Each structure stands twice: as C-alpha cells, then as structure tokens.
Structure 1
Amino acid sequence: SRTSEQGLEILRGKSGIGELVLLHVITRAEDREELEQGIQGAYAQLQYLGRTVDDGRIRVRLLLRFGRPAEMICAMAVEEQVTLIVLPRFGASDFIKSLPIGSTAFDVAKKAKTPVCLLYPDIRLEVITRELDEAEFPLAREVWLHYHQQTGDPATDRIFGVFVEGMLACVARCRRHPDGLEVDGVFTLDDFRGRGYARIVMTALVEACGNEDLYMHSTTELVTFYGQYEFVPISESELPATIKARFDFAMGEMQGSNVQPMKRAADPR
C-alpha cells in the first residue's frame, strides 16, 4: 500500500537498523485457490518492498501469515523477538477516511508487548471529480444505501461523484423530468465528511447542467449552502408539476416538513 511504501521511505533514512522483518497478513480467502493467489500476490509485493530497503547494510526477511492483522503482528513480534514494531498509523484503506488512527494500528498499540512506533507518512490523496458513466451507477446506489436508498436511472439521470483514491465518496444527481431538471441525492459518506466534497460535487453538477433551470427540495438548514450555487427559495406552486408531485407527502405544508423548494435560473446563453 502507499502507506507501507512511505513508511519504508522513512525507515530508509534511519541508521542503526540491523534487520528488518516485513510481515503481511492475509485476512481472508473464500477457497484454496483464492488463498494461493493472495499468497502469490502478497509475496510479490513484499519482495518489491524488500528491494527498496535492501542496501546491503540491512538484513531483510519476508513473512506471510493468515489471520487477524493486529493479533498476528503482536504474536509474530514475540516469536521473532523483534525490538520494535513499526507500522504506519493508517492501513491500506484507513488513510482515505477521516480517522485519527487506523483500526490495526490502534489495536497493535493497545495490545503489543513489544514497543510500537507509529509512523505518520505524508499522504496526499488523489481526489477526482467527474460524471459517472452508466456502468458506474451501482457505485452510487451503494452510497445512497445510507441515504433514503435512492437509485439511479441512466435514461433520466446524470450522476456526479467525488472519487477518493478510486473510492466513490460523495455523489449528486440531476434527474430529467418531463417538465424540468431536479437536483437531489447530494450525499457524502460519513468517513469522508468535513472535507468539502459536497461543494466540489455540486460545482461539477452545476457546471454541467446549469444551462437549464434547476429545481430542488432543500432541507431548511441547507438553504444557505445551496444559495452559494445561485439557488433561491421559491414557493411550492412555482415547481414544475412532476417535481412537485414527488413531494406531495408534505400536503402543501413544506415549511412544517423542514423542506424548502428552490430554483436556480439557467446560465445566460
């Protein structure tokens, strides 16, 4: 992983290291074939990492084990009689989330009988914002499972997303109705909140779809947020009929239901 590579980069600059044991723990395999493939792939990665630190001064040993990462790291440290456990504070997937420390690093620091050194490599996330193609709509559906369980329809929808290290973290949808365009489904996964991804995805959506009037139903606490994209509050009667029909559950009392209709006028041609 990137965190492992950057962690080893830090170690390369340290003196006094006589032996380095590189351990990879395989956590799961559905069958023997998958396990063998996992072993081959993991060992190849360990060999690559080993070559990056093997400068002739440090003895490098490679170990593969199967089980729970934290438990196996602690056990192997005792078995191999190591003097220090060194690992990045984030694992392969933890570092892309808004966490103070990864789950494996936390458990190792808590349980290990051997001294533990947590490295803080400088990780710069790859963040890409773009429109999803039809084959990627199921990715948005997975995100929306946490938000009203919405789905996307390629026939009517354009979905925009923010990808963090290849993982879809934030989405927004523009749906074409017979009488207008509706913006909804703006949602960021919990682990990625507080980074401004909702702003980024809304900017992309408005740039792509803003040549026509856009309508939405905003919660009242987000009216100011959408106002930054030139959405203004309107009355329920100003909504196109098909868009209004989606929210008839409010029985005309939208203020009481914490929902505010909004409109963004089309960009000048």
Structure 2
Amino acid sequence: MDWWLAYIALGLFTGFSAGMLGIGGGLVMVPMLAMLFSAQEAFPRAEVLHMALGTSMATILFTSFSSLRAHHRHGAVLWRVVGQITPGILVGTGIGTLFAAHVPARPLAVFFTVFVCLVATQMILNLKPKPSRELPGAAGVFSVGLGIGTVSALAAIGGGAFTVPFLTWCNVKVQNAIGTSAAVGFPIALGGSLGYVFNGWDHAALPAWSLGFVYVPALIWMVVPSMLAAPFGAMLTHRLPVATLKRVFAGLLIALAVRMLWKLFS
C-alpha cells in the first residue's frame, strides 16, 4: 500500500504512451516495475524481473482494450489484418511465456535491454519503406504474428514495438499502423498474462497477493489510471507529429532500460 502513488503515476504515463504510440506500455512498465519491486523487501531478488514482466503484461490487457476502443472510434484499426495476425500471436505468446519462466533474471534483463535499444534505434532513424512494398498474404502475416507474439511475451510488451514498424514498412499509414497495433496488443496481453500466471503459479517465496508472476496490488493501482490516460494519447496521435514523439520516447526507453540493467547487476 505504501507504493500506491508510484503505481498510479506509472499507470498514467504508460496508458498515455500506449494510446499515443500503440506500443502497449510494457517498454516503460517493465524497467520501472523492476526498480520499484527491487526496492521492496517482499520481492525475492531472483524473481523481480519475472514479476515485473508478468504484472506489466496483465496491465497491458486492460490498457490495450481502452486504447483499441479509442482508435476504433477514429476508424484507424485494420480489422482484416488483426484477424490474420492474431492466431500466430496467440501461439507465439504461449511459447514466449514458457521460455521466459525458465530464464534467470540477468540474462532476461540483457535480452530486454538489447531489444529496447533496437526498437529505440528504429524509432530515432524513422526508416521509410519502398513505395511498392505491400502487406504479405495471410500465411506471411501469420508468421509475422508468431514472431511478434514470442518476443512480446519475453519482453512483456503489447507488440507495438514490432507491429507498428512492420505495418509502416508495408506502407500502411502510420495512424492505421498505431491503431491496428493497439488492437493486436489485446490478444498478446491475454495470452501473455495467462502464461505468466500459469508458469509462476508454483513458485515459492513470491510476495503475498501474487497470482503467479502477476503482483495484483500493483496491477489494481495501475489499471484504472492507464485506461483513463490511453484515450488521450490516442487522440494526440491524430494531431501531433508522430515521428518527433517517437524520437523523444526512444531516448527515454534507452535510459530506463540501461538503469534497470544497472540495478540488477549492481
């Protein structure tokens, strides 16, 4: 209960960023939750990152739903693409959560940091596709979904870090890419949340009020603020220069990931 203000503030920020950039918010939540959990004696050090990953994924379940509703009202969700990519994503999240549960915290932290830096680099460079490039067929989209689901579950993100670049690389309008990514984030979060609950269910020494690797008090305090903030972020997507916002956000991601890595190894 002593940490409720920190959880509320984190929920507001991640919900806003999820709605604005279609990234689910996990890229911010994981390093911040890892730092908050590390500062509390109730969390065993070996499970801090697993708890941060599981709690982040469970929060994204609610944030992504609020975000996708807001983008749907703007007509920005390509539901045909969502239907093609979702089956692959569900299979991929199952694989990713199973793998993450058996990887020690430090190697998992290194993977997360490298992943964040790659995503941030793509945001900063704002790479552009060839004018002739289009979305692949249904089988190709399924395969992409499989990869996105696996890595998203490992990094506890809503998938936007891959979905948005993939869609824009295929010449999908950036607002449609962000809106579709928000919709794709929901099945990723659903499969990932169930996976982290299941794989952490029998772990001993987890703090009270844990549901597997999901810390329920943090989840409760973050959910409502994140759902309230997501529509405001989605609204700004259609009014502000997204490329500039991505560059600013990328710098923040790198700083948070590096600090999380330093805390775990120090």
- TM-score of the superposition, structure 2-length normalised? 0.23
- Which fold has the larger relative contact order, with Cα–Cα distance below 8 Å and residues 6 or more apart in sequence? 2
Larger strand proportion, structure 1 or 2? Answer: 1
Larger helix proportion, structure 1 or 2? Answer: 2
Which is greater in Rg? 1
